[in-house]
Amino acid sequence: MKTSAFSIMIAVLICVFSSSLCWAYPEPTVAGGINDWNMDVEFGKPQQISVKLPGDAKGAPGRRFWYVILSVKNDTGSDVDYYPSCDLMTDTFKVTPAGKDVMGVVFEKIKLVQKSRFPFLERFELVANRILQGEDNAKDIVVIWPDFDDKAKNVDLFIGGLSNETVAIEHPTKKDKDGKAVKVYLQKTLQLKYTIGGDKKFRSESKLKYRSKRWIMR
């Protein structure tokens, strides 16, 4: 899960396509194909937490992280593979993959804070790659990011792995050795949109205010 030029390009293309300035951008199907599946997901309010990391200087302030808890349930009718991806993108076009520069001590502190409500909380990067059917096999998963650009006014979360629906499109500029457009494969992804409240001078009091959600191909 590394930030790449390609990830940033896709993020920019999403914004461009949303404004209908370029080619028609593929939308997820309403009913899905015969072999397509979609898991149920509930998401909590993004929260921030300050954690002092091992090796930090004595007296140094804790480092700030943001996290959101996803409750994922498989009611698809069969066990499914689960390979999640979660990116945070600011309106300053900075993309951060979940788990980047996040040490285990951060998860442990969140787990302690949330233990009464989510006693079996799992870390996003370590969750099993197979989710069994039914309520008893539902998973509560925490997704964590380091603090993002304090100049940002809006933040989008892109959560992949909840569906196996994919589509192939042609890259707008890249060609293969035969001169044909390179294929880019997009996955049905949940996009959550937030605005950032509070003065950046008082970052510890900032909150993410929910705006909307939608399913996109990314």
- pLDDT tens for each residue of 178-198: 988 999 899 999 999 999 977
What mean pLDDT comes out for the span 136-160? 96
Tens digits of per-residue pLDDT, 73-85? 999 999 999 999 9
The whole-angstrom separation of Cα 102 and Cα 130 is 24
Query: Is the predicted pLDDT of residue 2 greater than 50, yes or no?
Result: no
Residues 6+ apart with CB under 8 A from 92: 149, 151, 152
Domain boundaries along the sequence of the chain: 5-29+36-217
- Report pLDDT for 25: 64
3-state helix, strand, coil in the chain (%, to 5): 15, 40, 40
pTM equals: 0.84
Question: Is the pLDDT higher at 175 or at 65?
Answer: 65
Query: Is the predicted pLDDT of residue 18 greater than 50, yes or no?
Result: no
